[in-house]
Amino acid sequence: MVDAIETKLATASFLGGMNPSNEDNAEFVKLAGVAPNVATHPNAGAWFNLMCYFTEAVRSSWGEAVAEAPAGVSKKEKMAGKDNYSSLLQRLKKIHFLT
C-alpha cells in the first residue's frame, strides 16, 4: 500500500492530483496512524505528516479528485489559481526530510 502511495506522490502533491480528495482521506485512514518510513518512502512520509494537520471533519469533506491538466502542461501552469497545498508539501519535505 505505501509503495502505491509513494508512486502516486512522485508526480503529484496528493493522491488524486494537485488538491486533496477523498482518496487521500481513505488511504490516510487505512494507515491507522502508522507513518511511512521516510528513508524508503519520502513522498509518502511527507504526505502523511501533512495529512496529520487536517482534522477528520476536514478530511471527510474532501470530494472526488478533480481532473488534472492535459499532458504537456507544466506544474507551474497547473498550480496557477490553485491553493498552495503543493508548495506547503514541498516545504515540509525540505524541512523535515532533506535536512
* pLDDT above 70 coverage of the chain, percent: 67
What band does 63 get if pLDDT is binned at 50, 70 and 90? confident
SS (HEC) of 12-48 = CCECCECCCCHHHHHHHHHCCCCCCCCCCCHHHHHHH
Burial of residue 31 (CB within 10 Å: 0-12, 13-18, 19+) is middle
Q: How many domains does the chain have?
A: 1
Residue 16: what pLDDT? 86
More confident residue, 97 or 66: 66
* pLDDT above 90 coverage of the chain, percent: 54
Look at the pTM and tell me if it is higher than 0.85.
no
Residue 46 has pLDDT above 80, yes or no: yes
Residue 39 structural domain:
2-97
Cβ partners under 8 Å of residue 64, min gap 6: 16, 21, 22
- Residue pair 2/44 in contact by the 8 Å Cβ criterion: yes
